[in-house]
Copies of this chain bind each other. A is one copy, B any other.
Amino acid sequence: MTTEMQADTRAFQAALLDAQTRITAHMDMRLGGTDRLHDAMRYAMVGGKMLRGFLVLESARLHGVDATAALDAALAIECVHAYSLVHDDLPCMDDDDLRRGQPTLHRKWDEATATLAGDALQTFAFELLAADHIGPQALVLIRALAQSAGKDGMVSGQMMDIAAETAGTPLTLDEITRLQARKTGCLIEWSATAGAVLAGADTGPLQAYASALGLAFQIADDILDVEGDASKVGKALRKDETAGKATFVSLLGLEPAKARAEELCDTACAALSPYGEEAAILKDAARFVIARDS
């Protein structure tokens, strides 16, 4: 990361930290319960970057959305993201022992608890969005979340990923782009547009921003898998290479992958022009995504 980039993203990092603090406090208030299931759900949420939740809060701020409704939506998307990680980490999927520098949920408790905590986190996301105070746009958000997270969105991306691994045939660039659009892109788009949806405003600019950001995010993830420091990232790295899995880096090469990520970052920032200076922090977020070291 260059010094200039560090300066650029400092304001964003402060905003991200603030989002993490607010979303975590909101979770403590909304989640309740002290039994094993609630403890496991909380454990799955803690220590995440909460980039998706941040995008919700920021797009809500841009559209003057009520703060509590925005926090409910931000918490909801973090619940969905956390559930997907808990299930992905299971032995029958990616079989990971470490997540965010801590034992994965099934390592900390057991597989049954991880399966159920993941299930309950997904349900809780919809419960949060169906809260009375969110207003009539809640149904639009719920419908979009179900479409983004479900059988034609995130879960189908994960299924494609597993099917490709089982088949042993590396994916092409087109296939991996499609897979990642579903596995990662859909939820990022939901997050970045949530504020506009809640305000009943045009989602176009944020949709274009998020679409480029989502792909840049995944390319950066693949670069991180090759160049990253596992102790900073908090999970096992170089797994893709070991597994002979196609990634943006293996398909494009390291330097072209970096150039592509930069290009997508520029596209994302350009899409925000209708918001002018108000969107500075979202532009910083895009720069952070391609320059992060964890």
Partner of A124, one of B87, B145, B151: B151
Instruction: Give chain A interface residues in 231-279, CB to chain B under 8 Å.
Output: none
A91 CB to nearest chain B CB (Å): 8
The answer on a CB contact under 8 Å between A150 and B138 is no
Interface residue A115 (Cβ < 8 Å from any Cβ of B): yes
Partner of A151, one of B38, B143, B145, B156: B38
Interface residue A18 (Cβ < 8 Å from any Cβ of B): no
Q: Mark A104-119, 1 if CB is under 8 A from B, else 0.
A: 0000001111011011
C-alpha spacing A149/B150, complex, angstroms: 17
The answer on a CB contact under 8 Å between A146 and B130 is yes
A25 CB to nearest chain B CB (Å): 19
The residue in A120, A126, A143, A163 that gathers the most chain B C-beta atoms within 10 A of its C-beta is: A126
Instruction: Give chain A interface residues in 50-105, CB to chain B under 8 Å.
Output: 83, 87, 90, 92-93
A89 CB to nearest chain B CB (Å): 11
Interface residue A159 (Cβ < 8 Å from any Cβ of B): yes
C-alpha spacing A178/B223, complex, angstroms: 50
Q: How many residues of A contact B (CB 8 A)?
A: 48
Q: Mark A172-212, 1 if CB is under 8 A from B, else 0.
A: 00000000000000000000000000000000000000000
Q: List chain B residues, Cβ under 8 A from A130.
A: 139, 142-143, 146
C-alpha spacing A102/B115, complex, angstroms: 23
- A-B contacts, 29 of them at CB < 8 A, read A31-B151, A33-B151, A35-B156, A36-B163, A37-B156, A87-B115, A90-B111, A92-B110, A92-B111, A92-B112, A93-B112, A93-B115, A116-B155, A118-B119, A119-B122, A120-B150, A120-B155, A120-B156, A123-B146, A126-B126, A127-B146, A129-B142, A130-B142, A130-B146, A132-B139, A132-B143, A136-B136, A138-B139, A139-B139
